[in-house]
Amino acid sequence: MLDKNNNANIRYARINQETGEEVAWKDIVKGYKYEGEYVVLSEEDFEKVSPKKNKIIEIEEFVESVMIDPVFYETPYYSEPAKGGERAYALLREALKETGKVALGRFVMRSKELFCLLRPVEEMLMLERLRFAEEIRDFADLNLPSESMEIKSSELKMATALIDQLTPKKFDITKYKDTYDRELMKIIKAKAGGRKIPVPKFKLVTSKTKDLMQQLKESLEGGSNGHKKAS
């Protein structure tokens, strides 16, 4: 971020809310508010609960991959064996392929113990960082349509026909590209060269009817001339 007056970089300051003065890093401590008062924690306090740093993934159990809901998946990582661990790595990989199962365990990253999953991907064991169950929000408080809501068979038939129509014979996920950075760089280069980029005009398309069947029919009819989304 820059100051618009002279394009100078912005420097962040750590300000004491009571004195209004800037605080040096060496004078900053960490604390937790407990029963109205702050309990200051030292580096030794954090070390007492920090797991021992190592490069080992501790496997605790094996389960069918379908038993892990995708909502638990957080971040994927590539893994490779340490020197001397190649045979054990290969054995686990092939055993997981043979059984169709995945390994659940824990590993340490930045002094924090994390929950993870190991699954075979060709010649590699992919490590998937997982969320703990308590990190998943309960959706019971959402205003959702009941499963008992009546769905007409004609509507369901039309909806499944639309799904079939938009299902490719061969799926290739690489066709989906993140174009944001590329488009933003075009604007940066244009502005650097003194050129102006015209602002795109967005046209809001709304359905002329609230009838669900009619909307599905319009979507099916539009499928042959480029994909049209149902409202």
Give strand pairing partners of 14: none
Amino acid at 210: K
> Quick one: average pLDDT of 146-159?
89
Task: Specify if 48 maps to a domain.
Answer: no
| Same domain? 65 vs 109 | yes
CATH code of the domain covering residue 103: 2.40.290.10
Task: Specify if 124 maps to a domain.
Answer: yes
What SS3 state is found at 196? coil
| Same domain? 219 vs 162 | yes
| CA separation, residue 167 to residues 36, 163, 171, 216 (Å) | 57, 6, 8, 16
Max alpha carbon distance in the chain (Å)? Answer: 70
Task: Specify if 53 maps to a domain.
Answer: no
* Least confident range of 77-81, 164-168, 194-198: 194-198
Give the range of the structural domain holding residue 65, as residue numbers without chain letter: 58-134
Pick from 110, 134, 158: which residue ends a domain?
134
Q: What is the mean pLDDT of the chain?
A: 88
- For residue 38, what is the DSSP state? E
Task: Specify if 69 maps to a domain.
Answer: yes
| Same domain? 98 vs 129 | yes
What SS3 state is found at 156? helix
Residue 212 pLDDT grade (very low, low, confident, very high; cuts 50, 70, 90): confident
| Same domain? 106 vs 130 | yes
| Same domain? 157 vs 226 | yes
Task: Specify if 195 maps to a domain.
Answer: no
| Same domain? 155 vs 229 | yes
Helix (H) or strand (E) holding 87: helix 86-99
Task: Specify if 216 maps to a domain.
Answer: yes
Task: Specify if 192 maps to a domain.
Answer: no
Return the higher-pLDDT residue of 196 and 102: 102
Task: Specify if 161 maps to a domain.
Answer: yes
| Same domain? 101 vs 75 | yes
Tens digit of each residue's pLDDT (9 = 90 or more) over 20-43: 999 999 999 999 999 999 999 998
Number of folded domains that form the chain: 2
